[in-house]
Structure 1
Amino acid sequence: MKAIFLHILLLFSISFTFGQENYPKREFRGVWVATLNAIDWPFSEKDSAEQQRRDFISLLNFHQKRGANALIVQVRSSADVIYPSNIEPWALSISGQQGMPPKPFYDPLKFMIEEAHKRGMEFHAWVNPFRAVTNTQYVKVCNDHISKTHPEWMLKYHNLKILNPGIPEVHQYVNSVIEELISNYNIDALHFDDYFYPYPDHGEIKGDRATWRKYRTDNESIRDWRRSNINTFIEGVHQLILDKRPSLKFGVSPYGVWRNEREDYDGSPTRSGYTSYDHLYADVRLWLQNGWIDYVAPQLYQSTKHKNIPFKKLLDWWGENTFGKHLYAGHAVYRVDRSLERGWQDKTEMPDQLYAARDNQAVEGSILYNSTAVWNNQGGIGDTLKTFYKYPALLPTMPWIDGTVPLPPQSPTIKEMPIGVTLKWEIPEKAEDGDIPTTFVIYSADKGVLPDINDPRQILKILKNGETSFVDQRTSYIETYTYLISSLDRFQNESEAVLPIYPKDQNVILPDPLNEDIIVEVNQAVLKSTWELVNSIIDNQGITMSKDLK
């Protein structure tokens, strides 16, 4: 502890009104980026490596300006990948020919992750675990593709081929692909979509009956057996993550309806022709209940006016069935102004969905499908996001993975400079879990007011990648604003906020109502200590503070 000159500004006018309630400080703001058939990226399968890099940076910058803080990028769409692998071939979208690397050579996934992290955005690696060939009539697979090296593992359905989830060796194979991915790349999450068993668009799947008879347990029905296969797979991936990278998030984006209430007492008030449980054999509710996944992002792709699957009722059902894990609403931006469904012709449909998700206490954020629809401002969505995501947001925390709070910035100082008010600090020591924060949040409030760190409107800047200084060019006078600085670890756990101190040689005149300089001894100007100090000064000066502030 050391004696320092600290001049406290004490004009309190904290307000808990519209902005704080409607602009949450923490919110997941994701965008799906599909690479299959170059839907979202690359912009063309014929693009050079340099063009791919330029376009991805443009895509990142575009979404960042519209408030996104996470990208969910498809890295394995059809048993082929967008990174160098010892197990699977290069994806068709990277070079225009499956099995061929980009030219000139580079590692797209490594590049993407680094660029996303530079901007403080999470990178979720989207994997299709079982899909092998999307269309056997048109897709030309390379010789080392799994459909050729292990044709006995293929389950054929119409023009689709999938890896048969009922074969134990298939689970081992897919797990080896996932292990390679999570071991070699600094991704923030592993993400699966809704493709497990195929959608029954062409009748009941029949090609796995021999496998069922071989591997079923006792008198297990083929439907229960299929569900058991997917349950076993998801539990196995969960355990793999715990063994190899316990800090990695694991999320799934299933078809929006788990089960209808007419089939199951626990089901949703919907009348969907498909359900995740009965037709894709994905018991997502069980996965949440057992803690096998960390978040669910159901594809709520019908409008609020849909007769059988209304958006809001289904969203409410998911909110009641998260079992303590995160829920992100999946929005069908690509259907705005395109779908024949009447509700999607309404210009207010997507804003209504976004606000409904934000107003639901159980929902931690939204993910938009797809990047191209947002890029093209389809239905005005890009303009909507500028307002909806007007203020920055930190990502929601997952305390069951990491709930340890980092240490606050060390030795924070504030100084007047001709170029603006300069804030500096040092990176703190490791926290109890060994994390060293490399992201810092600067809060700012008008003269005489301590910033409210729960109000995202008062976030002045989020500094990434270990930056330890900031110049507020709005003013060159210390008295204009009051600042607080906090640390964030990788899981967005936030430290106590600290008040930067004035150097001893800086003379600052304290404004009314104190009318005198106050010399105070504090410990690193931690916010908790500052509030204790403020209360003491208020009592000594005879100032009355409202009960709300107390």
Structure 2
Amino acid sequence: MLKGIAAKSIIFLSIIFMLIVPVYALNNVGKTDMAKESYNEISADGNIQNNNSQKKELRAIWVATIYGLDYPSKEAIKDVSLLKKEMIEIIDNVEEMGFNTIYFQVRPAADAFYSSKIFPWSKYLTGDQTISPQDNFDPLEFIVKQGHERNIEVHAWINPYRITMQKSDLDELAPNHPALLHPEWVVAHGSGDNTKHYFNPGIPEVEQMILEGVSEIIENYNVDGIHLDDYFYPGTNFNDHDTYAKYGSKYDNIGDWRRSNINSLIEKMYHLIKAKDENLSFGVSPFAIWANKSSNPLGSDTKGKEAYYTMYADTRGWVKAGYLDYIIPQIYWNIGYEIADYEKLLNWWADVVADTDVDLYVGQAAYRAGNPDPNSPWYGINQIKDQVDLNRRTNNVKGYVMFRYKSLLGKPELVNLMKYLNRLVL
């Protein structure tokens, strides 16, 4: 009888342990050395069980340099020791949070965080495009080395067309900047102080310059891939009608011509990268809505801005044509959002990549988490947790990317969540 009681006690204690451990792990991440195998066994809703046999999940983070959002601080701009210290802190924190990939912004506005013969040094790095970093410091070379020492992939994130963020930036361009050397390539967009400047995607020489810029990175740096964000055409009122008249005669309308320009860049960039090194990865993180179903029967059940018609980015077409290794739609809305529901878009993209060789990762709005309004869907950390859980339950979703580094660091509860979620799967 005593043996029977003992056996029942062991079973009871085992059940209690199984119920308590997941909660304890989430609340005490960083305070426990629980084996990763245990995380697999007790993961949320039981849906990541025994995931060791599956393909490695991408758990990535964007590190933005535009305006020095994530790197560097203003204090570090003219201090190489601080530049290195801040970069090491980024890598250390990324590793501690359990991410395995960094998308590092190396060309935020036609200026470079690496040594380039085409683009000047970034003013966000040195304070002035005509000034080189002290002691020949090269941020891209440094972050790749530091990342690889920790088994973290580093991909070079570029913005292909943007030249300035505001009107006054035009006066700060270096004399050898391609926008000053070739003013005929530049289009002003916007009004007043908010006027931005872009390279004209419809000019063949612009496309060639961008491709040469990618070649330069691949040939000189041991990056794991090339990554583009969601900035293509800035809107339908882009002033390129003269260029269309010169180059677009075979197209029925300016929209089709603009899409063909972006399609051409994406296709050529893919083949260029693979010709250099077939193991390098190429992908894009576009605005998440390709087209609304009301505009195109193939579109998603959404009501928002459309990449296909506004940015002239045929993101779905790139996947179907196989011009990408991966796509990261920026689904920066909550589950249940009426205009653009996270779950509906996730399922739409999962269907798009089905039966293709293109991997689907999801761009997630870490910057929205922690909203102080208790009535907001972004209150606390549950929205991010629920989204990651949904990703992992959805076929064809192979990982996620958080936007952005400092959006996480300022929120300890979110950092702990990342540590927990990033260790659910090896």
TM-score grouping bracket, smaller chain normalisation: 0.7 to 0.9
Structure 2 residue aligned with 1:41: 71
Residue matched to 1:178: 214
| Alpha-carbon contact 1:336-1:345 (below 8 Å) kept | yes
Amino acid at match of 1:150: H
Letter in 2 for 1:185: Y
The match for 1:74 is: 105
For residue 274 of structure 2, give the secondary structure of its aligned residue in structure 1. helix
Give the C-alpha shift of residue 137 in structure 1: 2.8
Match of 2:173 in 1: 141
Cα separation, 1, equivalents of 2:175 and 2:366: 37
User: 1:213, 1:138 → 2: CA distance?
Assistant: 29
- Secondary structure of 2:136's match? coil
Q: Does 1:382 find its partner at 2:415? A: yes
1:349 to 383, 387, 397: 383
Match of 1:489?
A: none
Distance change >3 Å, CA 232–CA 339, structure 1 → 2:
farther
CA distance in 2, matches of 1:314, 1:219: 31
**Partner residue, 2:265:** 233
Task: Please say if 1:359 is aligned against 2:389.
Answer: no
Is contact 2:57-2:425 (8 Å) kept?
A: no
Tell me the secondary structure at the aligned position of residue 65 of structure 1. Answer: helix
Aligned counterpart for 1:116 among listed residues 128, 140, 147: 147
Paired with 1:219 and 1:177, the residues of 2 have a C-alpha distance of 28
- Residue 390 of structure 1: CA displacement? 2.5
Q: Distance in 2 between matches of 1:46 and 1:134?
A: 19
Summarize deviations over 1:176-220 as a string: whole Å, max 9, x none.
11111111111101000000111x3xxx42410000011013352
Secondary structure of residue in 2 paired with 1:90: coil
Structure-2 change in CA distance of 1:144 and 1:339 (3 Å): farther
Structure 2 distance, partners of 1:146, 1:136, is: 17
Contact 1:67 1:392 in 2 (8 A): no
Out of 246, 261, 275, the residue aligned to residue 214 of structure 1 is 246
Give 1:3-22 correspondences, 5 Å limit: 18-19=42-43, 21-22=47-48
The residue aligned with 1:253 is 285
How far apart are the structure 2 equivalents of 1:165 and 1:182? 22
SS of aligned partner of 2:397: coil
Percent of aligned positions with the same letter in both sequences? 33
Aligned Cα root-mean-square deviation (Å)? 2.0
Return the offset for 1:269.
Answer: 0.9
| Higher-Rg member (1/2) | 1
Q: Structure 1 counterpart of 2:211, which letter?
A: N
Distance in 2 (CA, whole Å) between partners of 1:54 and 1:392 is 30
| Aligned partner of residue 218 in structure 2, secondary structure | helix
Which residue does the alignment assign to 1:330? 363
Which string of whole-angstrom CA distances, capped at 9 and with x for unpartnered residues, describes residues 441-482 of structure 1? Answer: xxxxxxxxxxxxxxxxxxxxxxxxxxxxxxxxxxxxxxxxxx
Contact 1:333 1:370 (C-alpha < 8 Å) held by counterparts: yes
- Which is strand-richer, 1 or 2? 1
Q: CA deviation at 1:129?
A: 0.8
1:36 Cα deviation after fit: 1.0
Equivalent in the alignment of 1:85 = 116
- Contact kept, 8 Å, 2:328 with 2:363, in 1: the verdict is yes
Q: TM-score, normalised by structure 1?
A: 0.65
Partner SS for 1:343: coil
Q: Does 1:99 align with 2:125?
A: no
- 1:150 aligned residue: 182
Distance 1:251 1:245 in 2: 15
Match 1:191 to one of 218, 224, 227: 227
Aligned residue pair count: 374
Q: What residue number does 1:445 align with?
A: none
Tell me, yes or no, if the aligned pair for 1:234 and 1:292 is still in contact at 8 Å.
Answer: yes
SS of 1:71's equivalent? strand
Which has a greater percent of helix?
2
AA aligned to 2:155 is: H
TM-score normalised by structure 2 residue count: 0.84
